[in-house]
Amino acid sequence: MNRKLTQALVAVSLAAVSFGFLTACKEHEHAYADGWLYDENYHWRIATCGDIEIGLKSEHNYIDNKCTLCGYVKDGPVSPDEPVIPDNPDNPDNPDNPDDPDNPDNPDNPDNPDTPDNPGGEEGEPEQGADGLIYTLTLDQDTPGYSVSAGKSTSGSVVIPSTYKTLPVIKIGDDAFSGSSISSITIPDSVTAIGYAAFSNCKSLTSIKIPDSVTLVDTQAFEECTSLREIHLPENLGAIYYKTFYNCRALQKLTIPDKVTTIGRYVFYGCSALTELTVGKSVNSFDTMNFIYCNSLKRVNVTDLDAWCKISFNGTLSNPLYVAHNLYFHDKPVTEVTFPSDLEDISNCVFIGCHTLEKVTFSDSNKSIGFDAFDSCKKLTEVNFGNCQIKTFSDQVFMNCTSLKSIVLPDSLEDMGRGVFDGCRALSKVVLGKNIKTIGMYTFKDCDSLKEICYKGTEEDWKKIWIHGLWLGEIRGEEKVMPIKYEYQGE
């Protein structure tokens, strides 16, 4: 076969990978020819079932300028018309007997899985390794390789090799070590992914370092690893998914790498020993129910304060501050915050329960504040709205800010939700702009020190406001009169 014909065959075969593989492979598993075809860079096997299909394609693996798999000699001619069955380079005394099952160096002997000349079986066919691990060939990657598909019978310290049968070990498969008795594991930097529940219920696992080559840690990967005290997450990780550290009751500290963008549901649920969490600068969302039973959490560190202000929190228990109360930036407690100029909507619960925060300044571009944004900020005393364009306060924005004594709301404000100042017991003065249209229920409930509301509009304007009840007494039918100072111009 000449070189142009070989290249044409490769092109047709590669085209089949993108079309035929998606159709024919769904109906049956391919069987491949015993021999190899090759060119200057790669070798491959062709399906024997009538489909044009490349199988096991990989680069040459040279020893003394000769590929140990296909027999191609570097800078030699490409393969002939028929697939080549290589000789047995590791058994010079028996070169003509490749089918001898008693030959320990036979490259096609399935009972000798450690022979470097055996590239393994078809994709999905598990193989027992000498290290006690089970391997499965994976072909749906840019680089073919093996997944560690089972290691449940293993215990103690486990070392995963970087290669198996000359191909890289690229993944720890789904449930691979689930329920095993391993106490530690070494993962090589050939691995790029850790599968679903790969280490779940590994009760004896105490620590693990994941190499930076890993970009995916799938859901529930370390769920119920109740002895896991520390873990190093890779710098190239993009997300932390559902229940990754669920009930890791011994985990004490964790750093979320700077490339992580999303935190899923129940990730830290039950991490009762967790004391400190560091949040990277790319995190843009925390999903719900993340910090239930994380009662030991005392400190949240951020690497970018502006980035923290832009995070979307899905409920109170999605924010670690709800439990930890203390926010640190550059190892100093965060006492003042100025919202970024490119931020329009301030997230729900963004500073909920933050006991270090004393002063907040809004930017001109801010247009709304989500619910519970500053709920229970016990030391908050100063709120500066400046020339912001905020039109909406959601529910309970400043609820239980017990040190807040006075506040001048922005002239742009139109709607206030329920309980905005509920429990602000030190609040004595509130200034409302004349554009206010709605005041929600319980807005000033338990504001024991509030004696007067200063309103910039007229008395007639005040009567047009839709007021749902400023304090609990009105809802119960109890008479309570709150003096209103109309057409307020400032002191």
Query: Cα-atom radius of gyration of the chain, to the nearest Å?
Result: 33
DSSP state of 271: -
> pLDDT value at position 39?
78
Q: Show Cβ contacts of residue 41 under 8 Å, excluding neighbours closer than 6 positions.
A: 59, 60
Distances from the Cα of 204 to the Cαs of 218, 246, 251, in angstroms? 21, 16, 13
pLDDT per position as a tens digit, 234-259: 999 999 999 999 999 999 999 999 99
**194 within 8 A of 217, measured Cβ to Cβ:** yes
Positive or negative torsion for Cα 312, 316, 317, 320: positive
- Rounded Cα–Cα distance for residues 283 and 280 (Å): 6
pLDDT-above-70 percentage for the chain: 76
- Rounded Cα–Cα distance for residues 366 and 385 (Å): 9
CA 448, distance to chain mean position in Å, is 44
pLDDT per position as a tens digit, 32-48: 556 677 777 777 666 65
Asked whether residue 12 carries a pLDDT value surpassing 50, the answer given is no
- Rounded Cα–Cα distance for residues 331 and 130 (Å): 48
Average pLDDT rounded to a whole number, residues 209-216: 97
pLDDT confidence tier of residue 405, bands split at 50, 70 and 90: very high
Q: Which of 277-286, 308-317, 338-347, 436-445 shows the lowest per-residue confidence on average (mean pLDDT)?
A: 436-445
Q: What's the whole-model pTM score?
A: 0.73
DSSP reduced 3-state for 336: strand
pLDDT confidence tier of residue 286, bands split at 50, 70 and 90: very high
The 10 Å Cβ neighbour count of residue 376 is 22
The pair of structure tokens assigned to 123 is 């994709």
Distances from the Cα of 184 to the Cαs of 130, 149, 157, 251, in angstroms? 19, 18, 5, 15
- Rounded Cα–Cα distance for residues 279 and 298 (Å): 14
Reduced DSSP (H G I as helix, E B as strand, rest coil) percent helix, strand, coil of the chain, to 5: 10, 25, 65
Nearest to 424 by CA among 474, 383, 467: 383
DSSP reduced 3-state for 216: strand
> pLDDT value at position 112?
37
The pair of structure tokens assigned to 208 is 């693990």
Q: Which of 1-5, 120-124, 336-340, 472-476 shows the lowest per-residue confidence on average (mean pLDDT)?
A: 1-5
The pair of structure tokens assigned to 336 is 């003042």
Give a three-class secondary structure readout of 425-448.
Answer: CCCCEEEECCCCCEECCCCCCCCC
**146 within 8 A of 135, measured Cβ to Cβ:** yes
pLDDT confidence tier of residue 91, bands split at 50, 70 and 90: very low
- Rounded Cα–Cα distance for residues 416 and 352 (Å): 18
Q: How far apart are the first and last CA of the chain?
A: 97
Nearest to 117 by CA among 69, 60, 45, 74: 69
Q: Which domains can be identified in the chain, with CATH numbers?
A: 3-67 (no CATH), 335-491 (3.80.10.10)
The pair of structure tokens assigned to 386 is 């400046």
> pLDDT value at position 10?
37
Q: Which of 77-86, 302-311, 382-391 shows the lowest per-residue confidence on average (mean pLDDT)?
A: 77-86
